[in-house]
Amino acid sequence: TGEAFYLTEGVLRLIHRAITEEPVYPHFGPAHSFLKRDAKPLPQGRIVRISTTLLATSARVPKDYRLRLRLTGADSASFARYPADGEAPTWHVYRGPTRPSSLTVPMAPYVSDSQPVSAP
């Protein structure tokens, strides 16, 4: 319940989920090459680990507020549908002790507005 506020976004087509050890620019979090040779279709019926990064942002989140991560299966304003036709794929996000999910949020201590701070 309550209001939701947009903080940031990230984009990852899951065929480009492979993580590279040699990012082409300084990167915080997993880096993806997006090269054709690294592209792999998702195997049907198998559980795979997906790691991605959201665009850097800064926000002061008050005590007792919650963060929400919204996952979407398409962005028609930015990308063509994949696969182009047929039934839309179904995917599942697992959670719990046997198949845990996680969201890592880098944090820096709050300092007054007059003092800049860098994330660790």
Q: Is residue 61 part of a domain?
A: yes
- Which of 93, 11, 23, 113 shows the shortest CA–CA distance to 52? 11
What pTM does this model have?
Answer: 0.67
- 32: amino acid identity, one letter: H
The pair phi, psi for residue 37, each rounded to 5°, is: -65, -20
User: Residue 77 and residue 86: Cα distance in Å, rounded?
Assistant: 20
Per-residue pLDDT tens digits for 63-83: 899 999 888 877 778 777 777
Q: Is residue 116 part of a domain?
A: no
Query: What is the band of 97 on the pLDDT scale with cuts at 50, 70, 90?
Result: very high
Domain of residue 54: give its range: 1-107
Q: Is residue 92 part of a domain?
A: yes
pLDDT at 119: 55
Tally of domains within the chain: 1
- 57: amino acid identity, one letter: T
Per-residue pLDDT tens digits for 44-60: 888 888 888 888 888 88
Q: Which residues contact 83 (CB under 8 A, 6 or more apart)?
A: 89
How far is CA 112 from each of CA 63, 105, 115, 117, rounded to the nearest angstrom?
Answer: 16, 21, 6, 10
